[in-house]
Amino acid sequence: MSAPVHQGVAPDAGAPARVPAWALLPLAAVAWSVGLGPWLLLRSRVGTFGTPYNPRNDVRDALLPFVVDRLSLLLTLTLAGGVLAGLTPLVRGAARPQRTASSALVVLGALVAASTAVLQTLAPEPDLGGSAAQAGTVRLAFVALTAAGTVVGVVLGLLVSLGGPALRVMAAAPASIVIAGWAGQLVLSARSDLDPAGVPAWVSPGLSVVAAVGVGVLLARLGLGSVGRVLAWAVTAFLLVATPAALTTARYLLEALPRTPLRVDAVTELVTDGLALLRLATAQNLTVVALWTPATLALLALAVGAVGAGVSARRRSSRG
């Protein structure tokens, strides 16, 4: 008599992993480094930034963009690198991976890669802007931005690769937006003229559609079998709208930060303006339904998920 199959347990729960657990550390480091792709392409074309004839400002060999007008790109690189590193547990292929050990190895690998890039970039003591008294603060802000982007990206990637069904889908929404933006930067950096107008008009909306369809496929696999999963659908749709608003706010803060005096009142005002912009951008993203807007993409993801869930339900009923 064969052993009963318990509901909710994958048949291959005991399947061996394709790669050993320790390999996640170097894999995560390599994956994070892949996130630097847009900058590695860009730096080979742009030459020297900053003050002419100052060797400290020659960024052709820097692994990270440290000039003030590239802080938004730095955020994109570190977020995408973190997401790619967080997805590395998927290569193991085990149905029930060791979540704690895998997460620790991935985080360590990503931080090692990020620390190496920061040390290599700051080793020539580049001129990051500000007076001599503010040089330490500027360097600290550069390191903090790199660390924050990496940690947030790794968390999103780990939730997608190791989280439960609902968490996986909800985390995939912001992660897909981040990767779509990174891919757009990669296309732009590959252009020899570095002119955004030279990039085909369909690239940005096309990447956004791919991201929305990918999230829709995950929604279809999740299904609507419980109240919790229905709530996961709603949260996923909201995150598809709110993530672009959050990235827009982050870009605004990063562009305004170098021009903001290091005073409590000035920084407070900047943060207040950023929160107001976040609320405004989120409201507009929720209400404006037009071609390629975040609201339209969220509706597309829901539509793909609903169609996929309906097809799966019909197949199950037919088999029954």
Q: Collect the ranges in the chain with pLDDT lower than 50.
A: 1-13, 51-53
Quick: pLDDT tens for 113-125: 999 999 888 876 6
Question: How far apart (Å, rounded) are the C-alpha atoms in residues 74 and 268?
Answer: 23
Residue found by looking up tokens 């330490």 in the block: 136
Quick: pLDDT tens for 251-279: 888 877 766 666 667 778 778 888 888 88
Question: How far apart (Å, rounded) are the C-alpha atoms in residues 11 and 82?
Answer: 31
pLDDT value of residue 15: 54
pLDDT value of residue 294: 87
Q: How many Cβ atoms sit within 10 Å of the Cβ of residue 91? A: 14
Question: How far apart (Å, rounded) are the C-alpha atoms in residues 62 and 119?
Answer: 10
> What b/e sequence results for 191-229 when a residue is b if at least 16 CB atoms lie within 10 Å of its CB, and e otherwise?
eeeeeeeebeeeebeebbbebbbbbbbbbbebbbeeeeb
pLDDT value of residue 26: 93
pLDDT value of residue 136: 66
Quick: pLDDT tens for 289-301: 777 788 888 999 9
pLDDT value of residue 213: 93
Helices (H), the chain: 24-34, 37-46, 71-86, 99-122, 135-162, 165-189, 203-222, 227-256, 264-287, 294-319
Question: How far apart (Å, rounded) are the C-alpha atoms in residues 158 and 161?
Answer: 5
C-alpha closest to that of 147 among 86, 84, 74: 74
Predicted TM-score (pTM) of the model is 0.84
